[in-house]
Structure 1
Amino acid sequence: MTSPPQTTPLALHAAAHAYGDAPAVGDGAVRLSWSQLLDSVRETARALMARGIQRGDRIGIWAPNTHHWVTAVLASHYVGAAIVPLNTRYVAAEAADVLSRVHAKALFITGEFLGRDRLTELRTAAPELGIETTIVIPVEGEAPVEDAIVWSELGKVAEAVSLEQVIARAESVSPNDLSDILFTSGTTGRSKGVLIAHHQVLSSARAWADCATLNHTDRYLIVPPFFHSFGYKAGIIASLVTGAAMIPQAVFDVRETMRLIQGERITVLTGPPTIHQTILDHPERDGADLSSLRVAVTGAATVPVVLIERMRSELDFEVVLTAYGQTESGGFGTMCRPEDSSETIATTCGRTIEGFEMKLADNGELLLRSDQVMRGYLDDPQATAATIDADGWLHTGDVAVIDDRGYMKVTDRLKDMYISGGFNVYPAEVEQTMARLEGVAETAVIGVPDERMGEVGKVFVVRRSGSELTAEDVQAYAKAQLANFKVPKYVEFRDELPYNAAGKVLKRQLREEKA
């Protein structure tokens, strides 16, 4: 049996050959088949070569989910460059920091979008950044930009490089070449660049897609941002290796999401639990045709059992899965399986996907080992050595338990644990309990200082629509379900919780608000 392609350029060749005129990308009026996507990628890659991009160079991309992102990342790979995605929520100083640390030679950047002109901001914040090639992606109209190439001009730039030259470059890319440098979210300090190679990103995406039952007949609405592993690797790359059609959504808006599901006959919808919860609770849901939905994959936060049950019964998903991964593990690690019960899917992160091993350290920390684990952190051997031990185990920083079936449950981050009256309290356990309380949509628990106990719990609660839940209700339920030292002393109701783009609650922000 022939082994599958080990670089994304060869994977794209294989997809174009296998799926040809079948849809690859649908973004508003722009419709690309797999053959047309290959043509688009080659044209953009020729332009990059014409601008002097070499194998091993780094290319930044600071833009929302559109068809341009798909072409840009695959074109960067096609010329042997590593893509460096930038969080669209970054301010210019944060973006400049990342771009300078990777010595970016080129940058794909959105035009004016959601009231921000990122290029002007970046040039103002870091006039000496020295990026040689800037390509502006139009989102809300298009106009010439000084000292930059507008997306529509790429074809003209590409004329300096032949098709034969760019194909030769693509075929020279090695499975061990870097495909990307993703920066960790930075919720615990300065972000770190994670180094991943082509063969790693492809192997992980294939294993994930296999568990998710993704295939070439699927139409995949990609809501998680492309700058994050969930959108880029479990989205673009998973579609690349299966032939699923990609429908990117630039900004999550529940009405637009439901419109796209109906209009595009979406079969696959991934994202944090809040996306599915928002759809379920939306007053216009009953008027939308969501019957095409087949597969949902969620994670990144506490998942109530009732949410899984409602996704299956009310949204009629055939397959609902939760998954676990970190940027450092290539974005992947464990996953539930389609046949698992709602209880298993909600209360565990599944078992290892192909190519991964896991075990617990003496302190309960989850350790992962795989060829798909990062090569290391960019220019930070000390942090790399502290994260990956001599035996190749990645120390995740997550506290977990593993049951006798090999299913893993994260009980908390090591740093999130607090000690109340001498007892360790893991907020995720409390959150999972609170999620079962009628009227609760979302919760987050942190430890706050207390003179007598050292620390006590504080729970932030987002009520479900129409709920009149009180603080007394919350505490009475917690007392009935949890040991006394785990019961939050304080309850605060919020309209929403602060999330990072990966769908994880920014607990540091909650702590700082109370500092």
Structure 2
Amino acid sequence: MNDNFWADKYPASIPTEIDPDQYPNILAVLKDSCEKFADKPAFSNLGKTITYGEMYELSGHFAGYLQNHAGLEPGDRIAIQMPNVLQYPIAVFGAMRAGFVVVNTNPLYTATEMEHQFNDSGAKALICLANMAHLAEKVVPKTKVQQVIVTEVGDMLPPLKRLLVNTVVKHVKKMVPEYHLKKAIRFNDALKRGKQCSFREAHPHADDIAVLQYTGGTTGVAKGAMLTHRNLVANMLQAKAMMGNTIKDGEEVLICPLPLYHIYAFTFHCMAMMISGGHNVLITNPRDIPAFVKELSKVQFTGFVGLNTLFVALCNDEAFRQLDFSKFKVTLSGGMALQRATAERWEEVTGCKICEGYGMTETSPLATVNPIDNIQLGTIGIPVPSTLCKVIDDDGNEMPMGERGELCVKGPQIMKGYWQRKEATDEMLDKEGWLKTGDIAIIQPDGYLRIVDRKKDMILVSGFNVFPNELEDVMAKIPGVVQCAAVGVPDEKSGEAIKVFLVKTADSDLDEAKIKAHMREHLTAYKVPKFVEFRSELPTTNVGKILRRELRDEEWKKAS
């Protein structure tokens, strides 16, 4: 498929190309936006809002502390381990302005996972929430981390509210285990000390690493994707371009329930919304649906970035269904496959269509997305500007249009490679810059792409390929199904058999016979599950993506 194939597939409002060198680095975007939107709200959390001007000032104070008091050298890595709180963007941009590389770290990591990531990245400093400081106490002595900065959830709030929130979290909810970290400094003290210092604003090159973003590690050892300033600036411009004329500079209020340490939320809220002057409402704990909905009721939001499981949970909440959606115009979905039934229910409840995109850590992350004014449900849209896609067979041959194959992506947002893992990099990235995604896709004649499934998740039943996404889409349409997953399990006759896992609503009378009957009605015989298991919950990642691999491994272990 030649490069010209994509040229006429874009709506008139979306350019086919962006200039990834429009800005020399992320800091140039930050400075430009914080001057342009100085008085506009940038981030809100727990009732406190900081403007773009305040964020720039505070990140400068933090940069001053890091350069003058943390004992770090230019280019050192700093691990940042926080949920969605105001301290996160201040710390990230402060670290970058001081000339350091950000290592985004999941606050839900175990001590073992923290130790691996800190040692693999060579992190010299750690900024963490007090809630996981007890783990840091165990891990830090086994790493090169020499400076620890600890913050509490309410640290950016006014004094009385700060005291109240931090006291409740620590003593009422018992969410902060006791810890003793020698030489650790409090985040607010670092800001105060940094305010007294001058610092040298960093000027990183476009190809310098901005962020080491670790992959989930669910299929092996977690690897650090090296995302450069150029990668992230390019993806920011690509995301903004795909919004067309829908996003108005300085006017949008975006709900941010997905964690900023995840590349999906990081690129959209900290990058694409920064260049647009958007107001990002940070949700610290989106799993607490009543509290989440209460926060939503306080703002007239215009946009929402989420994923399938979150959309389902909200639509099942009566208080959410009663919210005022009169200004709501953009919903973006990524991180996991969007099920048609979920999209239709969301539009019915909110009046807003869901715009599904596709990407991965290694693509910074956006690779394809549905144009907002031309959504095609069931697809992941078209490649973002300056991006090419193709599908290949197992031998690397490009497949004709309409044929299944492994999706490959090429563009300025593709990672530099994996940190200190040349062999893994070479397996995923070829010499021409094509990235193998590991996802099975189809390219339609209109340029839209459909993900059929993960290459490794495909189930082989008597020689027939069965793709879990197809089964899950059918199951999701059954009234009473909250979550579902399909995996292959060992079978003497067919090699693999299909087993499905479901979570149902409390009042549902669904049973195995009803599930199989529904599947038999909508699918050919070899796609009907042999086994059905109901559970109270399914294993998920930190952003709510169902871990099929964990379910599959569990079943294969039983059979061995």
- TM interval, shorter chain, is over 0.9
- Report if the CA contact (8 A) 1:221-1:247 is conserved: yes
Looking at structure 1, the residues matched to 416 and 544 of structure 2 have their Cα atoms a distance apart, in angstroms, of 25
Looking at structure 1, the residues matched to 381 and 506 of structure 2 have their Cα atoms a distance apart, in angstroms, of 30
The equivalent position to 2:166 in structure 1, one of 122, 127, 141, is 141
Looking at structure 2, the residues matched to 376 and 286 of structure 1 have their Cα atoms a distance apart, in angstroms, of 44
Confirm whether residue 151 of structure 1 aligns to residue 169 of structure 2: no
Confirm whether residue 437 of structure 1 aligns to residue 478 of structure 2: yes
- Report if the CA contact (8 A) 1:110-1:137 is conserved: yes
Confirm whether residue 348 of structure 1 aligns to residue 384 of structure 2: no
- Report if the CA contact (8 A) 2:67-2:98 is conserved: yes
Q: Partner residue of 1:328?
A: 362
Q: Deviations over 1:33-79 (max 9, x none)?
A: 11111101100011111123333111101111101001111111112
Q: Using the TM superposition, name which of 59-68 and 135-144 deviates more.
A: 135-144
The equivalent position to 2:489 in structure 1, one of 410, 427, 448, is 448
Query: Aligned pairs, how many?
Result: 501
Q: Deviations over 1:111-150 (max 9, x none)?
A: 13xxxxx222222245232312211111263899641110
Q: Partner residue of 2:259?
A: 225
Q: Partner residue of 1:115?
A: none
Q: What is the Cα deviation at residue 436 of structure 1?
A: 2.7
- Report if the CA contact (8 A) 1:76-1:83 is conserved: yes
Confirm whether residue 266 of structure 1 aligns to residue 301 of structure 2: yes
Q: What is the Cα deviation at residue 390 of structure 1?
A: 2.1
Q: CA RMSD in A?
A: 2.1
Q: Partner residue of 1:401?
A: 442
Q: What is the Cα deviation at residue 286 of structure 1?
A: 4.2
Q: What is the Cα deviation at residue 392 of structure 1?
A: 1.4
Q: Partner residue of 2:548?
A: 507
Looking at structure 1, the residues matched to 255 and 410 of structure 2 have their Cα atoms a distance apart, in angstroms, of 31
Looking at structure 1, the residues matched to 441 and 538 of structure 2 have their Cα atoms a distance apart, in angstroms, of 24
Looking at structure 2, the residues matched to 277 and 399 of structure 1 have their Cα atoms a distance apart, in angstroms, of 25
Confirm whether residue 293 of structure 1 aligns to residue 357 of structure 2: no
Alignment of 1:109-148 (within 5 A): 109-112=128-131, 118-139=132-153, 141=166, 146-148=182-184
Q: Partner residue of 2:222?
A: 191
Q: Which amino acid aligns with 1:239?
A: M
Q: Using the TM superposition, name which of 469-478 and 368-377 deviates more.
A: 469-478
Q: What is the Cα deviation at residue 454 of structure 1?
A: 0.9
CA separation of 1:464/1:349 partners in 2, compared to 1, >3 Å: closer, same or farther? farther
Q: Partner residue of 1:47?
A: 65
- Report if the CA contact (8 A) 2:95-2:102 is conserved: yes
Q: TM-score, normalised by structure 1?
A: 0.92
CA separation of 1:60/1:214 partners in 2, compared to 1, >3 Å: closer, same or farther? farther
State the identity %. Answer: 28
Looking at structure 1, the residues matched to 506 and 302 of structure 2 have their Cα atoms a distance apart, in angstroms, of 27
Q: Using the TM superposition, name which of 135-144 and 359-368 deviates more.
A: 135-144
Q: TM-score, normalised by structure 2?
A: 0.85
Looking at structure 1, the residues matched to 310 and 240 of structure 2 have their Cα atoms a distance apart, in angstroms, of 20
- Report if the CA contact (8 A) 2:321-2:349 is conserved: no
Q: What is the Cα deviation at residue 397 of structure 1?
A: 0.6
CA separation of 1:479/1:137 partners in 2, compared to 1, >3 Å: closer, same or farther? same
Alignment of 1:13-28 (within 5 A): 13-28=31-46
Q: What is the Cα deviation at residue 9 of structure 1?
A: 1.5
Where relative contact order (Cα < 8 A, 6+ residues apart) is larger, the structure is: 2
Confirm whether residue 68 of structure 1 aligns to residue 87 of structure 2: yes
- Report if the CA contact (8 A) 1:176-1:199 is conserved: yes
- Report if the CA contact (8 A) 1:348-1:409 is conserved: yes
| Local SS of the residue matching 1:452 | coil
Q: Partner residue of 2:239?
A: 208
Q: Which amino acid aligns with 2:548?
A: K
| Local SS of the residue matching 1:264 | coil
Q: Which amino acid aligns with 1:452?
A: K
Structure 1 gap segments, 5+ residues each: 113-117
The equivalent position to 1:161 in structure 2, one of 197, 219, 243, is 197
Alignment of 1:360-509 (within 5 A): 360-363=391-394, 364-464=405-505, 466-509=507-550
Looking at structure 1, the residues matched to 495 and 88 of structure 2 have their Cα atoms a distance apart, in angstroms, of 48
Structure 2 gap segments, 5+ residues each: 1-17, 154-164, 171-179, 395-404
Q: Which amino acid aligns with 2:361?
A: T
Q: What is the Cα deviation at residue 473 of structure 1?
A: 1.7
- Report if the CA contact (8 A) 1:442-1:462 is conserved: yes
Q: Partner residue of 2:4?
A: none
| Local SS of the residue matching 1:359 | strand
Q: What is the Cα deviation at residue 29 of structure 1?
A: 4.2
Q: Which amino acid aligns with 2:302?
A: T
- Report if the CA contact (8 A) 1:302-1:431 is conserved: no
The equivalent position to 2:110 in structure 1, one of 91, 95, 118, is 91
Q: Using the TM superposition, name which of 217-226 and 288-297 deviates more.
A: 288-297
| Local SS of the residue matching 1:181 | strand
| Local SS of the residue matching 2:318 | coil
| Local SS of the residue matching 2:526 | helix
| Local SS of the residue matching 2:227 | strand
Q: Which amino acid aligns with 1:155?
A: L
Q: Which amino acid aligns with 1:153?
A: D
Q: Using the TM superposition, name which of 323-332 and 252-261 deviates more.
A: 252-261
Q: Deviations over 1:461-499 (max 9, x none)?
A: 222463322211211122222222111111112232211
Q: Partner residue of 1:243?
A: 277
Q: Partner residue of 2:24?
A: 6
- Report if the CA contact (8 A) 1:7-1:173 is conserved: yes
Q: What is the Cα deviation at residue 415 of structure 1?
A: 1.0
| Local SS of the residue matching 1:456 | strand
Q: Deviations over 1:385-416 (max 9, x none)?
A: 00011221101111111111111111111111
CA separation of 1:283/1:214 partners in 2, compared to 1, >3 Å: closer, same or farther? same
Looking at structure 2, the residues matched to 394 and 338 of structure 1 have their Cα atoms a distance apart, in angstroms, of 26
Looking at structure 1, the residues matched to 406 and 543 of structure 2 have their Cα atoms a distance apart, in angstroms, of 22
Looking at structure 1, the residues matched to 187 and 105 of structure 2 have their Cα atoms a distance apart, in angstroms, of 18
